[in-house]
Amino acid sequence: MEMDLKNHRSSSVFFPAVVLLWLRCATAEIHFHEFVVQATAVKRLCETRSIITVNGQYPGPTIEARNGDALVVDVVNRAKYNVTIHWHGIRQLRTAWADGPEFVTQCPIRPGGSYTYRFRIEEQEGTLWWHAHSSWLRATVHGAIVVYPKLGSSYPFLNPDREHRVILGNSVNGFAINFQIVSNWLKLTWSSTGEWWNEDPVRVIERALRTGADPNVSDALTINGQPGDLYKCSRKETTVFPVRSGETNLFRFVNAALNSELFVGVAGHSMTVVAADGVYVKHFNATILMLAPGQTTDVLLTADSPAGCYYMAAHAYESARDTTFDNTTTTAILNYLDPNGYPYAPPAKVVANRTRLPAFPVLPDFNDTCAAYAFASRFRSAVPVTLPGPVDHHLFFTVGLGLFDCPAGKVCGGPNGTILTASMNNVSFQTPTRASILEAYLRGVPAVFTADFPAVPPVRFNYTAESVSRDLWQPTVATKVYQVKYGSVLEVVMQGTSILTSEDHPMHIHGYHFYVLATGFGNFDRRRDAARFNLVDPPLRNTVGVPVNGWAVVRFVADNPGAWLVHCHLEDHMSWGLAMVFLVENGVGESQSLEPPPADLPPCV
Ligand code: C2O
């Protein structure tokens, strides 16, 4: 995708918050950006819609920085919605005020308002991303964050010849036409999926929450904002990645889709995975990647196939049974350049002439949990790990869906006239509306939250049973946090439940990266499963897939004071309350304490 350098300038002006860092590390830079959140007319699939963008771009501008740099992003809200921006995967050490989730670390930027996010990138390298953290605005308000090694240091692999960013997302409108791929060939079946968002995603989720129903699924998936060749009226807009024979390319994948975990592959090429979630990993080869929303994966791909055009394609991994989902396939094209730098063939012509269609990758079936699990299990830390310990808090959190009965006199749109919901440890997270949790904590505002999030489920049951008693389907709605001292070691078992339906839940923890010690299926049983913990080289991630009908165990040190949202990165689940908050207290002295709130922190009323 193209770089936006328009609003980007770097400077060495005095900036108190990073002055210490600055002196320690004379090569660090401060990057200034202006993000104007605004309604923008965007044409996709032959229709023009007004969507919310940053600076008129979809996907939004890429932020480029080096490990150790600081960022100052002035966000100006010219849209009609409240907005906040989250810097997904940036640790925000001591700067929780810049983390972004609405009513957790800040009140939203109201229409007409602005807020300047100031934060540092400390010991992180690779691909991260930013996105809106209000309602469903992140559908179109998102972009990549690329963190290069410090000046004078390099990648822990041979320098690639070329770099590409690949942002996987949802399209916002249009007609989805379903092509079925048969033995590496395309046969047109022209069956419209019927589901398409003819309104903006904020309205889609608002209506769903009002009625209790499942929100509409998106109409199309996208690669760098373009649906690709398999939809009606989309061919001219397909994303093309130029490659040159023999060269090694670094592809940085981000799954920015709202509700779709995605398989992605490139015809005729295998990939070497080198990083995930902004952390280097032990290299491994793969022909298919799987990314859950929130996750990033960096791969090396050598252009060693015969010169030509090759499809990159992505479609959903859908682990829930009997559900509707966006089952379309998005494509981009890898186009080899000839020795003079001219494209091997203009892709539009290649596609128009069906006798010379580019080769198509073979993607796993939508419900291929084995493929998804096998891929996720291959990640290992690149460097030996000294695991934090001993564990101060052994936590066991259920993660799953639920149903409320419909209040008398109301008509509800959930299954059999109910209301869909979701919870952790039977608490469905209610987002505050009067103050952010972090401000309420520090200023002593009463009745915004309670610090009694349970360490274990209130009732133990067979979490993954075929049928869980109906009595356990209705969670409590509340704003509960789990409070810990600075420096505590937390080990969290996240246990999926089969209430209503079991499903893979990509769980994201703000403000931290955590070691994934193990994942598995069924009910977690410490006596049996502790033997499977990887205590040698567990991967460090910010988003982990809790396998469908299974569990994941993660461990981290609470060394970052603040209020940190933990949630499922499937946007519908988060909207239903699949979230909680870790409240981490200040430690001793300035270096272990939250910085004071910025003067321009958006007011709450
Ligand atoms: Cu990328 Cu709270 O999210």
pLDDT at res. 355: 55
Q: Are residues 436 and 371 in the same domain?
A: no
Is there a single domain that holds both residue 335 and residue 368?
A: yes
Query: What number is the average pLDDT over the span 274-291?
Result: 98
Q: Which atom of ligand 1 is nearest to the CA of 89?
A: 1
- pLDDT score at 349: 57
Higher-confidence position of 130 and 354:
130
Gap from CA of 358 to ligand 1 centroid (Å): 36
Q: Would you say residue 3 lies in a domain?
A: no
* Ligand 1 pocket residue status of 508, Cβ below 6 Å: yes
- Indicate whether 144 and 56 sit together in one domain: yes
For the chain, how many structural domains are there in total? 2
Name the residue with higher pLDDT: 357 or 283.
283
Q: According to the 3-state scheme, what is the secondary structure of 178-218?
A: EEEEECCEEEEEEEECCCCCCCCHHHHHHHHHHHCCCCCCC
Q: Rounded to the nearest 10 degrees, how much is the dihedral formed by the CA atoms of 567, 568, 573, 576?
A: -10
d(CA 19, ligand 1 centre) in Å: 29
Last residue in a domain, options 349, 376, 403? 376
* Domain assignment present for 42: yes
The CATH number linked to 232 is: 2.60.40.420
Kindly report the average pLDDT of the chain as a whole number: 89
Residue 410, domain member (yes or no):
yes
Find out whether 271 and 248 touch, Cβ atoms under 8 Å: no
Distance 287 CA to ligand 1 centre (A): 28
Tell me how far apart the alpha carbons of residues 61 and 265 are, in angstroms, rounded to a whole number: 25
22-36, 108-122, 402-416, 500-514: the lowest-pLDDT one: 22-36
Give the pLDDT score at 548.
97
Residue 73 lies in a domain: yes
Does 101 fall in a domain? no
- Specify the range with the lowest mean pLDDT, choosing from 62-71, 82-91, 155-164, 175-184: 175-184
Q: How far is the CA of 478 from the centre of ligand 1 (A)?
A: 20
Residue 350 pLDDT: 55
Ligand 1 lined by 131 (C-beta under 6 Å): yes
> In angstroms, what is the span from residue 388 Cα to ligand 1's centroid?
24
Give the confidence band of 46 by pLDDT, cuts at 50, 70, 90: confident
Protein residue with its CA nearest to atom 3 in ligand 1:
88
Residues 479 and 573 in one domain: yes
User: Which pLDDT score is estimated for 568?
Assistant: 98
Q: Is the CB of 573 under 6 A from ligand 1?
A: no
**Closest to 325 (Cα-Cα) out of 382, 273, 259:** 259
The rounded Å distance from CA 565 to ligand 1 centre is 8
Residues 211 and 261 grouped into a single domain = yes
Task: Identify whether 2 is part of a domain.
Answer: no
| Ligand 1 neighbourhood includes 509 CB (under 6 angstroms) | no
Structure confidence by residue, pLDDT tens digits, 116-132: 999 999 999 999 999 99
Q: Is the CB of 565 under 6 A from ligand 1?
A: yes
Last residue of a domain, one of 341, 376, 411: 376
Residue 199 confidence (pLDDT): 63
How many beta carbons lie within 10 A of that of residue 525, not counting itself? 10
Q: 312 with 438, same domain?
A: no
142 Cβ closer than 6 Å to some ligand 1 atom: no
| Predicted confidence band of residue 3 (pLDDT cuts 50, 70, 90) | very low
Q: How far is the CA of 566 from the centre of ligand 1 (A)?
A: 8
The helix (H) or strand (E) run that includes residue 581 is: strand 579-584
Percent helix / strand / coil, the chain, rounded to 5: 10, 40, 50
Q: Give residue-wise pLDDT tens across range 572-587.
A: 999 999 999 999 999 9
Considering only residues 97 and 8, tell me which one the structure prediction assigns the higher pLDDT: 97
Give the closest residue to 217 by CA, choosing from 309, 326, 322. Answer: 326
**43 falls in which pLDDT band (50, 70, 90)?**
confident
Same domain, yes or no, for 262 and 341? yes
- In this structure, the answer to whether residues 401 and 286 fall within a common structural domain is no
The verdict on residue 111 lying in a domain is: no
Contact assessment for residue 147 and residue 67, using Cβ atoms and an 8 Å cutoff:
yes
Looking at residue 356, what is its pLDDT? 65
Q: What is the pLDDT of residue 501?
A: 93
499 and 428: one domain? yes
CA 247 to chain centre: 30
**Three-state SS sequence of 12-65:** CCCCHHHHHHHHHCCCCCEEEEEEEEEEEEEEECCEEEEEEEECCECCCCCEEE
Query: What value does the mean pLDDT take over residues 348-370?
Result: 79
Name the DSSP letter for residue 161: S
Tell me the average pLDDT across 309-336: 92
Residue-wise pLDDT tens digits, 391-433:
999 999 999 999 999 999 999 999 989 999 999 999 999 999 9
| CB-CB neighbours of 17 under 10 Å | 17
Residue 241 lies in a domain: yes
Asked whether residue 32 falls in the same domain as residue 160, the answer is yes
Q: Which of 397, 384, 357 is nearest to 567 (CA)?
A: 397
**Closest ligand 1 atom to Cα of 138:** 1
Ligand 1 centroid to Cα of residue 191, in Å, is: 34
Quick one: what percent of the chain has pLDDT higher than 90? 76
Residue 483 pLDDT: 98
Q: Give the residue from 227, 221, 239, 41 showing the smallest Cα distance to 139.
A: 221
Q: 335 and 243 in contact (C-beta within 8 Å)?
A: yes
**pTM recorded for the entire structure:** 0.91
Task: For 355-423, give the secondary structure using H, E and C.
Answer: HHCCECCCCCCCCCHHHHHHHHCCCCECCCCCCCCCCCEEEEEEEEEEEECCCCCCCCCCHHHCEEEEE
Residues 362 and 412 in one domain: no
Per the DSSP assignment, residues forming a β-bridge with 518 are 553
Cis peptide before 446 (omega within 30 of 0): no
Is there a single domain that holds both residue 29 and residue 167? yes
Q: What domain range is 315 assigned to?
A: 17-89+124-376
Distance of CA 373 to the CA centre of its chain: 18
Nearest-atom index, ligand 1, CA of 510: 2
